[in-house]
Chains A and B, each alone.
Chain A
Amino acid sequence: MQYEAVIGLEIHAQLLTESKMFCGCPTKFGAEPNTQTCPVCVGLPGVLPVINKRAIEYVVKTGLALNCEITQYSRFARKNYFYPDLPKGYQISQYELPLCRGGYLEIALNGRRKKIRLTRIHLEEDAGKNIHEGGDYSLVDLNRAGVPLMEIVTEPDIRSAQEAAEFMRRLRMILRYLGVCDGNMEQGSLRCDANVSVRPAGQEGFGVKTEIKNMNSFKFIEKALEYEINRQIRLLSKGEKIVQETRLWDAKRGITESMRSKEEAHDYRYFPEPDLMPVEIDEGWLNEIRAQIVELPDARMERFIKEYNLPEDDARLLTEERAMADWFEEAVRLGGHPKTVANWMMGELLRLLNKDGIQIEDSKVKPAQLVGLLSLIDRDVISGKIAKTVFEEMYQTGREAEVIVKEKGLLQITDTEEIERIVEDILNNNPKEVERFRAGEQKLLGFFVGQVMKATKGKANPRIVNELLRKKLSA
């Protein structure tokens, strides 16, 4: 029998606000335990939450970018459960009236476009962290308690592990474009759980689902879901039943494993948070937020193709990250030829950045410097080959191309007489090869060019070298 997978995702994105969701504590990552805390986020008796407006704006921004309906009067709710990392004994979240409803994100896979519908986006606070370091005790770190979290829930529209991974890639790209989340999956600032079920192809109803957690990279999302889909198909094919449960992805063993069954699921006793007034988003505020939304990846890619005449692949790669696309446009604005800039970025720059694991915004070499280098090539001051060496140096030090070229004596030799002397030397030193060339072995021209370049340490202007060699050899 043919089976079809049905997948819905539940994504948690930590928002890039300066302060926490309901107090003024910083959201900095990696500080000493319990140093980023105050009476409010440790849940002392008598404290009250105050909404971080910026967090609301980030969620609304995301909602607008994902075509959601923005709720005019939305409300916070308490989700009640006991856990040591949850200082108040409840999490302030949203339940009946989330900030955003509906919406979709379009993905493209194997040239096919598909809309994945969203159910809702809501805002909540993160919990702290329990630390088990052995012994008969555990420790609690509340630095993360109260950090704003955006929860994005999709409809069960996803049909394969690849689609799920692609959805996450697109989503991450957009969140980073909007500047609302850094998208770091390893550190957990972007997390994703999946509800997975399978059904015979063509069947309307859903099968029994499992919830998969702990997939902290795109690769693991794909692998974990692939595994889970196959596991369910295997069970059904044998006539066995799927148990509704939560399963953890074990990356080392490459399997999903049962964590707890849904029968033990909590009754969270949601009710409206009485300490907070409903959030009212009026037309004025909405327009303000709308105005803050930057051009998103798809639109920017289309524009790059049209405006800069770039091939689609180049345009896609360059618009994946906002910082990359900004870098490109800055270089073009400063006079770089679009396709040449694209080639240098996708070739040399990305290679070096990837090798060192550096983000483009932290690159020492800036658009203006690349344009400086390109102009040296255009003006025949250096050769393209030398330019690569110069670029490496620029990348390492952030210095101007012209300075490096002067300092290292890399100026191209365009003096015909000087090159002619060298060419004659090479021909005189290689009589056999000259003879063979004249006897018709034309491919030896490359050999002579190489010898000249070697003698000039690559600085000879290749056009002049070629011209002179042809002239001398045919004489």
Chain B
Amino acid sequence: MELYRLGIREAIELISKKEISPLELLESVFQRIDSVEERIKAYVTIERESAFNRARGLENKPMEGKLHGIPVAVKDNICTRGVRTTCSSRILENFIPPYESTVTSRLTVQGYILAGKTNLDEFAMGSSTENSAFFITRNPWDTERVPGGSSGGSAAAVAADECIAALGSDTGGSIRQPAAFCGIVGLKPTYGRVSRYGLVAFASSLDQIGPLTKCVEDAAILLNIIGGHDHHDSTSVAMSVPDFTSALGMDIKGLKIGIPREYFIEGVDKEVENGVRDAIKRLESLGAVPLEISLPHTEYAVATYYILATSEASSNLARYDGVKYGLRMDGENLIEMYMNTRHHGFGAEVKRRIILGTYALSSGYYEAYYRKAQQVRTLIRQDFENAFKEVDVIITPTTPTPAFRIGEKTRDPLQMYLSDIFTIPVNLAGVPAISIPCGFSGEGLPIGLQIIGRHFDEENILKVAYAYEQDTEWHKRRPVL
């Protein structure tokens, strides 16, 4: 058996029955990395030595944690103590955090093994990982195509079986869009469900960490572990975390699913639309009740997002000034040192967003841009609140198209921004959403189905996702590498 193909639940089952050992599992995963990583380039840092040390340490120990010996890949904007955390940026190329993020602390408690740190668009700004300062990650289904972004490394690593599961972060679609492009499951939890402590901030009011996995159940398992209040993060909500796996397998008879008309518009790829419509029919056959709904402020979401996210980013990235850590380029004086450091340390997209955000917050423009965008954000959140008075979940395509070609959109930032058009409103509203595979294009590229839920109602979206997954075979397909 090819152990690297396993998901979390299957692997844990075998380990607990002592049919396989953590070391055997890890060896298989690293053999897979050795055979495909050159073509995929999912990892910025591969933690071979520490991973094997850990696996050997777990080898004959009684199984205590829920991830005993499970190799997990972690997006390289999540701080790991003693392990380089670069954000795929020159400015943090050699940054080794002296502290551990809350999510990886929680994984550690459960016995996980850090396989490595995955590539991303620099500081999570992008939709293709083409903005990584180091290299471009390839889509395992077609290595001429992008894996999506910004969690493209994590998504590709999961899809190519270079790990058992992965963590990513999602600010405007950065978990769901690459999950859709790579044919895997990606869950963005409710804002406040998972601690952001240790996640290098891009846009603080939108960022959320979540799992990228081979199946819905694995996403529930990881959310069980990483979710819950953290006293290091005041925006994490003090709310008990249900056992998300217990929602799986419940039937969805009578469940109302909203189909927002604003998401089935011109510009959406026909194959994508058909895939999603077929999925809705499939859910209907399982007893769900589809209802057409409206989210009237959808068209303003991308503009709103690019004001708020860039405003916060312009402030969040101010700390990379060459004074304390990270890259420093000399200069004749302080100002020159700042300018040289940030000029060489940041890539073009990051600079573009810092400039946009700085402009939007500037005196004289604040009212017209930042404040107005906050007001629109409220309207978008209300759209969802109103819709959820009528329906239990909302279903949309995750992306307007399947994975695009490398280089296809790099010269047109606006085109790139539009690939997140269906995921961005979810972050603005703060609600949870999952992307699961719902078919393939004629060219063999995965298509993603997005299921959106009420605030803190990850249970319902997991329930629907699981019901669909169990009724289909899409998630069992693997890219040929």
Contact = CB atoms under 8 A, between A and B. Distances in A.
Interface residues of B, number: 45
Interface string A113-143: 0000000000000000000000000001000
B104 to A, nearest CB: 11
B156 to A, nearest CB: 23
Given A45-B79, A50-B232, A269 B362 contact: yes
Interface stretch (A271-279, A326-334, A363-371, A384-392): A271-279
A90 B99 contact: no
Given A269-B362, A271-B361, A46 B101 contact: yes
B196 interface: yes
Interface of B is mostly: loop
Given A39-B99, A43-B324, A44-B98, A269 B363 contact: yes
Contacts of A78: 315
Most chain A Cβ neighbours within 10 Å, of B78, B317, B334: B334
B4 interface: no
A80 B234 contact: no
Interface stretch (A81-89, A224-232, A307-315, A403-411): A81-89
B315 A48 contact: no
Interface string B218-232: 000000000000011
B324 A271 contact: no
A84 to B, nearest CB: 5
Contacts of B233: 48, 50
A269 B318 CA distance: 12
Interface string B270-305: 000000000000000000000000000000000000
A83 to B, nearest CB: 9
Nearest to B79: A46
A interface bracket (residues with beta carbon within 8 Å of B)? 20 to 34
A89 B95 contact: no
Given A271-B311, A274-B205, A140 B92 contact: no
A45 B318 contact: no
Contacts of A80: 314-315, 318, 361
Contacts of A89: 315, 317-319, 321
A140 to B, nearest CB: 7
Contact of B324 (A42, A90, A276): A42
B445 interface: no
A356 interface: no
B124 to A, nearest CB: 12
Interface string A43-62: 11111111100000000000
Contact of A88 (B311, B319, B366): B319
A459 to B, nearest CB: 68
Given A48-B196, A80-B315, A277-B235, A271 B97 contact: no
B440 interface: no
A82 B318 CA distance: 7
A48 B318 contact: no
Interface in B75-104: 77-79, 85, 87, 92, 95, 97-99, 101
Nearest to A49: B234
Interface in A67-92: 78, 80, 82, 84, 87-90
A45 B204 contact: no
B101 to A, nearest CB: 6
Given A48-B196, A274-B205, A274-B312, A84 B318 contact: no
B197 A140 contact: no
B30 interface: no
B98 A39 contact: yes
A267 interface: yes
Given A80-B361, A88-B319, A275-B204, A45 B87 contact: yes
B321 A45 contact: no
A188 B92 CA distance: 36
B231 A46 contact: no
Nearest to A40: B232
Given A44-B98, A44-B99, A45-B92, A51 B234 contact: yes
A84 B337 CA distance: 11
B200 interface: yes
B321 A82 contact: yes
B43 interface: no
A48 B95 CA distance: 18
9 contacts: A45-B200, A46-B85, A47-B99, A48-B233, A80-B318, A88-B319, A140-B324, A274-B204, A275-B235
Given A48-B232, A48-B235, A50-B232, 14 more contacts: A39-B97, A39-B98, A45-B319, A45-B320, A46-B101, A46-B200, A48-B234, A78-B315, A87-B323, A89-B317, A89-B319, A89-B321, A267-B362, A269-B315
Interchain residue pairs A-B with the least CB separation, the first 9 = A89-B318, A269-B361, A274-B205, A274-B204, A45-B200, A46-B79, A46-B198, A46-B200, A39-B99
